[in-house]
Amino acid sequence: MRRALIVIDVQQEYFDGALPIQYPPRDDSLANIVRALDTAEQHGLPTVVVRHEYPAGAPVFAAGSPGWALHPDVEKRAATAHRVTKSNSSAFAGTDLADWLADNTVDTITIAGYMTNNCDLATAASAEELGLATEILSDATGAIHLSNSAGTVDAQQLHETLLVLLNSNFASVATTDQWIAAVHDGRPLPAPDLGASAALGRLRASEQG
C-alpha cells in the first residue's frame, strides 16, 4: 500500500467568506487537517494540496481574492506538497492529479478538507474509476447547511449521512486518530462493504420498527 494525503480546498472562503463550514466546527476540522499534514510529513507520505479557483470577479474562490487564499495553517505546511488548481468538484477533473499519483506509485488516497457534500464526495467517486482505494477523515472534513427546491438539510445531518454512504462503498471512513494509528502501523483502514452495510441497515431498521 502506498498512501497519499489529498488536502482539498482548505481556503478562506470556508472560514471568512460566503461558504463557512458549519459541521463539524471548522476550527476542530482545521486542527485535524493540520495533524494529518504533520503526520504525512513525519512518515514521508506524498501530499497534495488542492485549491479551487474561478476567474477574477467570481462570487466565490475568485483568483487572487481573500477567499481564494489557502488557510495560513495549511499554506505554511504546503512547501513540499504537489499543488493542484481545479475549477470542478472533483480534484481529478481537468488536473494532473491522476498522472501525478501514478508517477508516485500511489494506490490509496486519504481525503481531508472541504466540503464533504461537494468536492470530497466527487473526488472519492472519481477515484473509484481510477482503481484507487480511498480514505476519508470524518473529523477533518466538513459540510454546510443546504436548502433548495428539493428540500432542506442541516450540515450535521448532511455530513453524517454522506459519510455513511461513502463508507458503504466508495471510501474507508475514519477519524484522524484512527488514520494516524493506521499510518504509524503501516496498515490499511477496513475496506467499505456495501453488503455488510445493507444487512446491518436492515437489522437496525427492523429493531426500530
The number of folded domains in the chain is: 1
Question: Could you give the 3-state DSSP secondary structure of residue 118?
Answer: helix
* pLDDT confidence of residue 209: 78
Average pLDDT over residues 1-20: 97
76 CB neighbour count, 10 Å cutoff: 11
Measure the CA–CA gap between 163 and 14, rounded to whole angstroms. 20
Measure the CA–CA gap between 111 and 136, rounded to whole angstroms. 5
At residue 9, does pLDDT exceed 90? yes
Strand partners, 5: 47, 110
Of 92, 96, 98, 109, the C-alpha closest to 1 is: 109
Structural domain that includes position 11:
3-208
38-55 per-residue burial string, b: 16 or more CB within 10 A, e: under 16: ebbeeeebbbbbbbbbee
What pLDDT band is residue 22 in, cutting at 50, 70 and 90? very high
Reported as type and span, the H/E element at residue 46 is none
- Residue-wise pLDDT for 25-69, tens only, equals 999 999 999 999 999 999 999 999 999 999 999 999 999 999 999
CATH classification of the domain holding 11 = 3.40.50.850
157 CB neighbour count, 10 Å cutoff: 14
- Residue-wise pLDDT for 82-131, tens only, equals 999 999 999 999 999 999 999 999 999 999 999 999 999 999 999 999 99
Of 68, 106, 183, the C-alpha closest to 97 is: 106
Burial class (CB in 10 A: 0-12, 13-18, 19+), 7: buried
- Residue-wise pLDDT for 141-183, tens only, equals 999 999 999 999 999 999 999 999 999 999 999 999 999 999 9
* pLDDT confidence of residue 200: 94
- Residue-wise pLDDT for 182-194, tens only, equals 999 999 999 999 9
